[in-house]
Amino acid sequence: MGIKTRLDLAVVIFVASACLAIFTTGAKSESFHGIVSDNVCASNMGACNASRIHQDVASGAKYVLTGEDGAYELDGPAEQLAAFAGHPAMLIGRMEGGRIRVSSISVPRREAGVTTP
């Protein structure tokens, strides 16, 4: 392989990497609403209280956000997720392959049928 071919290949790889980085980091944040639970409670289709969720997570369960369309694993600060265990929450983050990468969590605005902790 000649020097010009190697240089052309390096330029193509650099441009492709830059495009991938732009599209990957350009994902928009969304808001998600639901109840913070854990994957054990969610798989048993039951509502769990905060102490049960804390116990499950201490035993290796993952925090999830449950809502009308299912449960999504949460990737975020454990201490903040723990504070909302068993309660409604509004999360800001990005959906990545069935997992929500949480950037912030807060008490949801009052909506029909939703109570706050």
pLDDT over threshold 90, residue 33: yes
The predicted pLDDT at position 21 comes to: 44
The predicted pLDDT at position 11 comes to: 39
pLDDT over threshold 90, residue 109: no
pLDDT over threshold 90, residue 110: no
Per-residue model confidence as pLDDT tens digits over 55-97: 999 999 999 999 888 899 999 999 999 999 999 999 999 999 8
Residue 19 pLDDT grade (very low, low, confident, very high; cuts 50, 70, 90): very low
> Helices in 1-117 by DSSP H: which ranges?
3-25, 39-43, 50-58, 78-83
Please enumerate in sequence order all residues whose Cβ is within 8 A of that of 81, keeping only pairs 6 or more positions apart, or say none: 36, 63, 74, 102, 105
Q: Quick one: which of 41, 34, 36 has its CA closest to 77?
A: 36
Alpha-carbon distances, residue 41 vs 31, 35, 48, 66 (angstroms): 23, 11, 6, 10
- Average pLDDT value over all residues in the chain: 79
Q: How many residues does the chain have?
A: 117
Q: What is the mean pLDDT of residues 91-105?
A: 94
Instruction: Kindly state the DSSP code that residue 87 receives in the 8-state scheme.
Output: S
The predicted pLDDT at position 48 comes to: 86
pTM of the model: 0.69
